[in-house]
Amino acid sequence: MRRAVVVCVAAGLLGGAPGLAQAPPSDYPTVAVPITDVTFTDAFWAPRLETVRGVTIAAAFKQSEITGRVKNFEIAGGDASGAFCTRYAFDDSDVYKLIEGASYALATRPNPALDRYLDTLIAKIAKAQEPDGYLYTARTINPAKTIAMAGKERWTNEEESHELYNLGHLYEAAVAHYRATGKKTLLAVATKSADLLARTFGPTGVRYPPGHQEVEIGLVKLYRATADPRYLALAKFFLDERGNPAGHKLYGEYAQDHKPVVDQDAAVGHSVRAAYMYTAMADVAALTGDLRYVTALDRIWDDVVLRKLYLTGGIGANGAWEGFGPAYDLPNSAYAETCASIANALWNFRMFLLKQDARYIDVYERAVYNAMLSGISLKGDTFFYPNPLLSLGQHERSPWFTCACCPSNLPRFMLSIPGNAYAAAGDRVFVNLFVQGRARVALAGGAVGIEQETRYPWDGDVRIRVSPAKAGRFTLAVRVPGWSMSHPLPGDLYRDLTPVRDTVTLKINGFLVPIRLERGFAVIAREWAAGDTVDLHLPMPVRRVVAHEAVTADEGRVAIERGPLVYTAEFVDNGGRVTNLVLDDQAPLAAEWRPGLLNGVEVVTGTGTAVSMRGGSPVSRTVPLTLIPYYGWAHRGKGEMEVWLARRADKARPAPEPTLASASTGSSSDGGKGIQGLNEQYEPAGSNDHTTLYFHWWPTKNSTEWVQYDFPSATAVSETSVYWFDDTGQGECRLPRRWRALYKSGDAWLPVETTDAYGVARDTYNTVHFKPVTTTAIRVEVVLPEAFSAGIQEWKIR
Ligand SMILES: [Zn+2]
């Protein structure tokens, strides 16, 4: 029901610069160790990445074929006929993103079948490109009749067309494919396209910046791969045209086009667009030395991390614009789009490259282990678009979406995670992430092999074995995560309820050494010889976290963390409900390894209180609690899930007493969705409340529809109350034109006898009393508005 706004994201720096035509004059002071030089052998990430290689990429390519995304290229290239056959003009980008992900798979392990498949796809893309380099199937297929968002002419509807957005993903894919295979097939398509942009856009040419940022990131990668300075200049141009009313009519805050990027000081609008832009600003700052971008990024980063970041690392509180809300507005219905978590990680990794400060990796780690990972199932074939911190049972991962930005984004991001684990600068090796495996780090003085042995994220003990090619002096900088020192995040948005008592320790070759902390890294400068070991001990107790008092959604609530993982309570482990639970601050909590659960997880167990209504009053009883890592929710059916548990009874939602409605079986006329919303007994705060379950007929309009309760047995009833759903401002459901109640008599449906008016008031129950009837089923018949649909928050019967 949200409006068709767009979405989508970019992948991590592959790091290093293999294949560079020539080194850029300046770049980040830190070089990430590329994915080709890092191998994960752990039990957490390695299997997940294997699933991405073996399942996700193939499934997403298949979806791209089934849905017509690939066919669009065939039609545009003349190898098939028909009209543009998908919904959105940005659907081309999904194919590009998957090629990028597949290229990372090829870069680290040969796969001839995948390599050949990419060749055939790339040939189709090349054929779809117009002679002058223009590539956009939504126009090329039939320039005289494009879909509305494409605009009538090239580049004239850039606010919505995604012409440039698509190309950003094309460029990222092209560079990834070139580096993985050495083939220039897609790179040639990309440079031909970018050359057209360089001829078209500029201070004396077209001056529209992209409506959805991304081309800037792609252009920077293309610049690094080709050393063509026009591409970097164009990336900078697109950034600098934002918020410049001399060049175009501003798109506004939604697209971060309300003021020049260097003057921006708060995160606003669509969160994926925003974080892609911040990512590109960091890149352009590194390459041009323009510190004004960095100053702006520092202000914006503070705004996000101090005021607008979910505990899970997700960003974007509001689904209406898929983006940031005001400061501290963090409802647990959370949008937190999977792509936005990816974008947040991309941005924070670049901030680390700029500043060599571990706090950026703290944010990266939080987003990646929690909000991002929730976006993909353990089997790798179903996905979440939003990633809420509270569910009443309405959420379920899906194999694909009409707007498929998230499924196509995950492979390229996840396969680039090894490229974020280590970095180098001068004689310094950075260990950012703790993942068992090995890496080869190129330092000025020669290569250094690094090996990690650890059960992280389940255990905080990490052994790092250092093997320089030849013994010598260099510096090892090992990240000490904020959470291990009672700072879940920089700032005061979240804090530990009680400090971690255990302390971080460091041993070199078995001997305890004092920790010298520099910007969040334990820095060890010494002569290293092959086989030297560093043992890092990160205390990993179960921690209680509370939010800043201004976050009203989390007031009186507590969240559980252990190590980098946020935990959550899910219905299946806790007697069918969790929103009625209370976790007392003093109740002891313990971690426990469950090898058979969710591919092996540490759960957190303890004792809580469950609140239920009995005879009109809340009663409490003591119950065992089990919490799982947040990323693992929604794998065992649909039901309640809650990250922020009540600390006090008044914050719990007592389990309601059974009613005739809750005991009835709901059904509806065709097209009705969310039938359990009728009688799940969550009281809505208003007609536009999206936090409780609701029923609706959208997109059906202008017709007569019905909902029905079948009773367990014939029952006498005399009253019905309907609370209408109305999402004015967000969707297309409105109050109905009129309605009436009918009861079942034999095979017939008869209207109830009443003199009451059938009300259509907003934000309240509309109650009708009628002459008592004894029946087995009752219906509400609803006449939908002419131009809108309708829905029901809750339906009661007495
Ligand atoms: Zn997305």
Alpha-helical (H) ranges within 143-269 are: 158-161, 163-181, 185-200, 215-226, 229-241
Distance of CA 312 from the midpoint of ligand 1 (Å): 17
Q: What is the pLDDT of residue 730?
A: 83
**Is-contact 637 674, C-beta < 8 A?**
no
Question: Tokens 């039609």, residue?
Answer: 75
Burial code of 443-475, b = ≥16 C-beta within 10 A, e = fewer? beeeebebbbbbbbbbbbebebebbbeeeeebb
Question: Tokens 């993985």, residue?
Answer: 180
- Residue 308: name the closest of 242, 363, 349 by CA: 363
Distance of CA 8 from the midpoint of ligand 1 (Å): 5
Distance of CA 57 from the midpoint of ligand 1 (Å): 16
Q: How far apart are CA 440 and CA 18, in angstroms?
A: 14
Residues of the chain with pLDDT under 70: 1-25
**Phi first, then psi: what are they for 314, rounded to 5°?**
-75, 155
Distance of CA 316 from the midpoint of ligand 1 (Å): 12
- Count CB-CB contacts under 10 A for residue 532: 18
If DSSP states are collapsed to H, E and C, what string results for 322-381?
CECCCCCCCCCCCCCCHHHHHHHHHHHHHHHHHHCCHHHHHHHHHHHHHHHHHCECCCCC
Pairing of strands 589-594, 472-479: unpaired
- Residue 632: name the closest of 434, 386, 370 by CA: 370
Q: What is the pLDDT of residue 682?
A: 86
How long, in residues, is the chain?
A: 798
**Is-contact 232 288, C-beta < 8 A?**
yes
Distance of CA 340 from the midpoint of ligand 1 (Å): 7
**Residue 322 annotated as catalytic:** yes
DSSP 554: G
Distance of CA 721 from the midpoint of ligand 1 (Å): 39
Q: What is the pLDDT of residue 17?
A: 35
Burial code of 577-589, b = ≥16 C-beta within 10 A, e = fewer? bbbbbbbeeeeeb
Of 8, 339, 405, 406, catalytic: 405
Distance of CA 74 from the midpoint of ligand 1 (Å): 25
Question: Tokens 């360089």, residue?
Answer: 198
The verdict on whether omega for the bond into residue 229 sits within 30 degrees of 0, i.e. cis, is no
Q: How far is CA 291 from CA 260, 281, 296, 370, in A?
A: 14, 10, 9, 32
Q: Which two tokens stand for residue 737?
A: 């034109």
Burial code of 36-66, b = ≥16 C-beta within 10 A, e = fewer? bbbbbebebbbebbebbbebbbbbbbebbee
Mind listing the pLDDT tens digit for each residue in 18-47? 333 444 568 999 999 999 999 999 999 999
Sign of the torsion formed by the C-alpha atoms of 131, 134, 137 and 142: negative
**Is-contact 481 365, C-beta < 8 A?**
yes
Q: What is the pLDDT of residue 24?
A: 57
Q: What is the pLDDT of residue 58?
A: 97
**Residue 794 annotated as catalytic:** no
Q: Which residues surround the ion ligand 1 when the cut-off is CB under 5 Å? A: 7, 337, 339, 405-406
Mind listing the pLDDT tens digit for each residue in 178-218? 999 999 999 999 999 999 999 999 999 999 999 999 999 99
Of 100, 163, 214, 322, catalytic: 322
Distance of CA 4 from the midpoint of ligand 1 (Å): 13
Inter-axis angle of helices 163-181 and 185-200, nearest 10: 150
Q: What is the pLDDT of residue 319?
A: 87
Q: What is the pLDDT of residue 25?
A: 63
Q: Which two tokens stand for residue 541?
A: 């107790």
